[in-house]
Structure 1
């Protein structure tokens, strides 16, 4: 998601969304297939353990999360705590990132691990559902703080200073903060929104406490000012994102029309970071099924498609993840296809851009006949067969074969195109022998039709 300020909230929320989606896919495969593998069940169990780990971390203090409650600095600079070291290199992490498994590594070393062809987590040895890396801003912030102050003594009170400040704000300043959010003064409102952004990012208890006050964020005057002041808009969008991580808030925000429309409008704002936060907020909100319908009907799909087409690194991943989440609802698939998603996604696949995410969405959309027709017109058959011959992950091969299978059963003319390639390269025959259980089944289904 690449958020500059929303340290611990966004990466965990995104990781949870990604893992839940992968868990659903794995469970469906296990339920549907008689010959499911032990690896498939291990993968599903690994995701469940990772989700449990994230859930536990969500209710812990940052200091408890990193095992720092009893940690203090001595006059002699101590060695880095184990939690600050990369599991691969054993060295102090400079750019900590979160892998799909939920584990944190130094970016340089995990990138090398992935480039060497590994498709598993170095720590758990579980197959990765994807290879996206999310910056772990919280860990980086605490490592930076440790590095600067490692020669100074730090009392327990100082260690817990941030959290004490948050609790103090919750208990003693909450009412005053709400009044300032409704202030007639623009400067007061700006400061109040910025403070709300900081507190909603730091403290789960603050996010829970804010539940009844959510309507204040979508006051007509405040929203109009946010449309006039770029910095106010950025802070307000980030605040919505932070608050939406809390389950009850997610429902309330989703059922507030002005909130959804504000986020959708922000997808076209000037600052790329603000657009990225807006896409991330819609992604988090869409994890609630009832919100998927609301967001789709409100017109979010087209600007999200536009963000994918634009292709900026800070927005394209969140936009793709949001569309994928929204398209688990049938009506949103129809909207996505009607609004041009197939063309945009297929071109990204052909350009070798975020293939994992694009294939995920196409695999869902191709259940719609119009999508199959567009894929055929765009030359997707040859493109997908080319991918199958490349050194890509088994999951991506599975997605390609699944899309080809759907295309063949929806449009028999595509069988002739596949037959011409298969006769020369035996692409599907290879997948039928070496692919995942589902990929083998789909490949054999196509080969039977060819024969």
Structure 2
């Protein structure tokens, strides 16, 4: 009888975890060696994967490193001349099951959708925990003495087991900035410009800001949608929406009228989705089949209308290679056009009609002249300044290229000067224009270098409510650069943000909270926020459910709880009671954030655990372990384990 290595669960009779001695004795010696050899091959295979998606890179490298520590063990076993003991065969079968799960997980993190891996980071983290537990389970009963393994190899395997146990006890080390950005992107109901800063940061963090990266992600997402076959439609739609936003930021045209699963298909091909279009026939910008391909200075080929729009927007680089163009001439690619025509004729495909491209590049020069004229008016008489700052606010609102042109024309120092003008509307338009300009990464440093931050903070202190709100949003946008976090904190930018958090409108509170979260990623700013009194208004946000800012408040409080001054203020009795109420009645995300914060507080001071027990948290944690999301389950389990070490446990 042969033992089958399957992916079944522990209740599956064919699962290796259920191997008994009667089965083991009937395995041939060749089959024993095959199991060991397959483990060696898996280690070699995962070693060839190379890099992994940024969001899970650390976990992947840790897992691969641990698996490689087992290679000497497998080599020694493979060289043994005598048959393997029954106990060892059972352990190696369990180990193969763990290795298969690890291989599948690593493959997902190697070539899966970057957006999916960020959006489902908690679920993926749960899979890493599961793989580590399977590895630990397989190695716990390994009969080293019966195998005759050398002391050196045995010590190496024991080292790996120790690392696995430490990994099990360790709290999550997730990228809290990425988690917050993702939460804000999908929870904000108002689609304002400040969100663009978050989107650009997300795009950079996920490495989805160039045309080739976005094209590769589109292919992976299309495959993911096909595999899901309509399941988890809400998450799928979130992935599609975020991908389209990233494409818009990168200057890639959206495919109007059809979804991401048809991302490479013009309408003429919708009836033949299985038809594979050669990659060379697709425009790198629109990702659609080209009707009028042209060659630019770098030798790359694009659809004429697409590359013209790119150039008319002020770009002087190749979208694919990012190299500066030596000239802006477009040469028709007749050879490729003929190949596309022959292919379309062969497969009976009708090409879409050509767009009117008679405008040429004149629009670009006219646009630049308009911006130059408006910037000049910023230093003119008062009426011209009023009109100019409104115009710049509008020009910088939607078009990323305009932001670069406006800054290049020297608008930033003039806008900073208008921040001190006594007229409130001019202040509002000037600070909002700086907010819009700051969405460009290069402009962030230009604005800070021009010493705009003190003036923006002053508007945040004394301006109209709209000006204060947009000042807070501007500080958030600027604070995505680490050195600007330090500058804003040292220039006392945190106190007026706390004031806005306390007394602002709903929009103002959200802007202040987002900025405070970003600034509190800096260690010195955590202490500044606590001393300024940020904690009481954050606790108040937890009480007012109508604001819909519970998750944001808990995320900031989690950062402030990392320092002694923070958890000393946060861990008051009334707050512990609020956390318990959120664990009991909050949304799934509320519960997850609340139990994570309570665990952080409890690990610092067991008094907080005892207080939570008095408020009846125990039964709600049991329920969360059974029905919560992956991260909530893990946090609740860790909290229950910690409670068992305290003196008073129900």
TM-score strictly above 0.5: yes
1:6-405 equivalence runs, <5 A: 9-15=193-199, 51-60=242-251, 65=254, 67=256, 167=364, 170-183=367-380, 185-212=381-408, 213-218=410-415, 220=417, 222-224=418-420, 226=421, 228-257=422-451, 259-352=452-545, 353=547, 354-377=549-572, 379-393=574-588, 395-405=589-599
Question: CA RMSD of the aligned region, Å?
Answer: 3.6
Question: Contact 1:19/1:47 (CA < 8 Å) preserved in 2?
Answer: no
2:609 to 408, 412, 415: 415
Distance 1:270 1:209, change over 3 A: closer
In structure 2, distance between residues paired with 1:20 and 1:434: 35
1:50/1:305 CA distance change after superposition, 3 Å: same
Q: Is the 8 A contact 1:16 1:54 kept in 2?
A: no
Q: Deviations over 1:74-124 (max 9, x none)?
A: xxxxxxx789xxxxxxxxxxxxxxxxxxxxxxxxxxxxxxxxxxxxxxxxx
User: Does the residue aligned with 1:379 lie in a helix, a strand or coil?
Assistant: helix
The equivalent of 2:339 in structure 1 is none
Deviation (angstroms), 1:337: 1.1
Contact 1:178 1:216 in 2 (8 A): no
Superposed displacement of residue 418, structure 1: 2.1
Asked if structure 2 preserves the Cα contact closer than 8 Å seen for 1:384 and 1:404, the reply is yes
SS for the counterpart of 1:267 is: helix
Given the superposition, is the C-alpha separation of residues 419 and 315 from structure 1 closer, same or farther in structure 2, using an over 3 Å criterion?
Answer: same
CA drift of 1:52 comes to 4.0
- Is the alpha carbon distance of 1:255 and 1:44 closer, same or farther for their aligned partners in structure 2, counting shifts above 3 Å? farther
Alpha-carbon deviation of 1:361?
0.7
1:27 alignment counterpart: none
- How much does 1:302 deviate? 1.2
1:407-436, Cα deviation, whole Å (9 max, x unpaired):
11212222221222347x612222233223
Normalised by the size of structure 1, how large is the TM-score? Answer: 0.65
Offset, 1:386: 0.7
Q: Summarize the Cα distance change of 1:279–1:413 in structure 2 as closer, same or farther, 3 Å threshold.
A: same
Give yes or no for contact 1:182–1:216 (8 Å, CA) kept in 2: no
Partner-residue secondary structure (3-state), 1:182? coil
| CA-CA distance at 1:314 after TM superposition | 2.3
Closer, same or farther: CA 219–404 of 1 in aligned 2, 3 Å: closer
Displacement after TM superposition at 1:387 (Å): 0.7
**Aligned mates of 2:593, 2:192 — CA distance in 1:** 31
- Displacement of 1:363 in angstroms is 1.3
SS at match of 1:268: helix
CA–CA separation in structure 2 for the residues paired with 1:235 and 1:434: 49
Report the CA distance shift for 1:391/1:9 in structure 2 as closer, same or farther (over 3 A): closer
Q: 1:403 and 1:20 mapped to 2: Cα distance?
A: 28
Q: How many Å separate the matches in 2 of 1:387 and 1:377?
A: 16
Render the CA deviation track for 1:249-291: whole Å, top value 9, x for unaligned: 012113332x112221222345322222111111211222222
Partner of 1:146: none
State the secondary structure of the residue aligned to 2:615.
Answer: helix
Greater RCO, 1 or 2 (C-alpha within 8 Å, sep 6+): 1
Counting matched residue pairs gives 332
Are the counterparts in 2 of residues 346 and 378 from structure 1 also a CA contact under 8 Å?
Answer: no
Structure 1 residues 338 and 47 mapped into 2: Cα distance closer, same or farther (>3 Å)? farther
**Cα shift at 1:46:** 8.5
Q: Greater shift after overlay, 435-444 or 13-22? A: 13-22
Runs of 4+ in structure 1 over 6 Å off: 18-23, 42-49
**C-alpha displacement of 1:50:** 5.1
Deviations 1:373-406 (A, max 9, x none): 112236211110111111412x221211111111
Q: Compared with structure 1, are the counterparts of its residues 223 and 237 closer, same or farther at alpha carbon in structure 2 (3 Å cutoff)?
A: closer
Q: 2: distance between equivalents of 1:219 and 1:267? A: 14
Deviation at 1:325, TM superposition (A): 1.2
Q: Tell me, in whole angstroms, the C-alpha distance in 2 between the residues paired with 1:199 and 1:405.
A: 48
**Counterparts of 1:256 and 1:48 in 2: how far apart (Å)?**
38
Q: Which runs of 5+ in 2 are unaligned?
A: 1-183, 185-189, 208-227, 260-354, 645-650
CA offset at residue 178 of structure 1? 2.9
**Alpha-carbon deviation of 1:350?**
2.2
The equivalent residue for 2:37 is none
Aligned partners of 1:347 and 1:20: how far apart in 2? 34
Rounded Cα–Cα distance in structure 2 between residues aligned with 1:182 and 1:291: 28
- TM-score normalised by structure 2 residue count: 0.46
